[in-house]
């Protein structure tokens, strides 16, 4: 297995992982599968924001999972805060891939001089919550009934990790 920076050539595999999460879990609060056109927009937004897409690639070339981050809120004072995500293909879950991807995206955020990483996690997703806690994220709030999916109200937890970067933040 190796970690790489994913480009558009991984679009179909990323789309498959996203759509599995949409259709079978509360990891994404979407209802309908994403389309290839939506993925093109997603990749373009990542490129414009200079946001990484880190993939874990099996020896077969298959994408096992990926992580990324993006804008937390689109106001200037939030420029040092990002929201991240980690998705692992169903057949590779429980093998430590998520932990490797989360560690790598944390390192990327530090290198890019971000200060706070936010994970927005369904309150019932014990595996993701446990992973985030293992890597030093702290619970910073819950929004009750934030979403409605699969016939029930969903609570969402916010987890944050404060990084030591940037050394000299500015307000510009």
Instruction: Identify the band that residue 70 occupies on the pLDDT scale cut at 50, 70 and 90.
Output: very high
- Assign 84 a pLDDT band (cuts: 50, 70, 90): very high
Residues 100-157: tens digit of each pLDDT: 999 999 999 999 999 999 999 999 999 999 999 999 999 999 999 999 999 999 999 9
Total number of residues shown for the chain: 172
User: What backbone torsions phi and psi does residue 87 show, to the nearest 5 degrees?
Assistant: -130, 135
Across the range 65-87, mean pLDDT stands at 96
What is the set of domains in the chain, with CATH numbers?
2-162 (3.40.630.30)
Helix (H) or strand (E) holding 68: strand 63-71
Mean pLDDT of 49-69: 96
Q: How far apart are CA 19 and CA 136, in angstroms?
A: 29
What is the model's pLDDT at position 167? 85
- Residue 27 pLDDT level (bands cut at 50, 70, 90): very high
> For residue 172, what pLDDT band results from cuts at 50, 70 and 90?
confident
Residue 54: half-sphere exposure toward Cβ, Cα within 13 Å: 23
First to last CA, the chain: 41
Peptide bond into 166 cis (omega under 30): yes
pTM attached to this predicted model: 0.93
Pairing assessment for the beta strands 116-122 and 81-88 based on DSSP bridges: parallel
Note whether 27 and 35 are within 8 A (CB). no
Q: What percent of the chain has pLDDT over 90?
A: 97
b (16+ CB within 10 A) / e for 117-146: bbbebbeebeebbebbeebebeeeeeeeee
- CA–CA separation, 161 vs 38, rounded Å? 29
Distance, in Å, from the CA atom of 41 to the CA atom of 101, rounded to the nearest integer, reads 23
């Amino acid at each position: 297995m190796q970690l790489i920076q994913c480009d558009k050539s991984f679009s179909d595999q990323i789309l498959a992982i996203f759509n599995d999460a949409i259709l079978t879990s509360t990891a994404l609060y979407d209802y309908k599968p994403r389309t290839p056109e939506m993925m093109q927009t997603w990749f373009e937004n990542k490129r414009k924001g200079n946001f990484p897409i880190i993939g874990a690639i099996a020896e077969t070339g298959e994408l096992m999972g990926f992580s990324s981050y993006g804008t937390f809120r689109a106001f200037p004072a939030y420029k040092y805060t990002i929201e991240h995500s980690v998705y692992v293909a169903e057949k590779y879950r429980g093998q430590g891939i998520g932990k490797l991807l989360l560690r790598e995206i944390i390192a990327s955020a530090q290198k890019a001089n971000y200060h706070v990483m936010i994970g927005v996690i369904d309150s019932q997703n014990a595996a993701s919550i446990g992973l985030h806690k293992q890597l030093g994220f702290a619970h910073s709030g819950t929004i009750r009934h934030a979403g409605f999916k699969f016939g029930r109200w969903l609570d969402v937890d916010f987890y944050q990790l404060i990084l030591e970067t940037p050394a000299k933040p500015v307000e510009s």
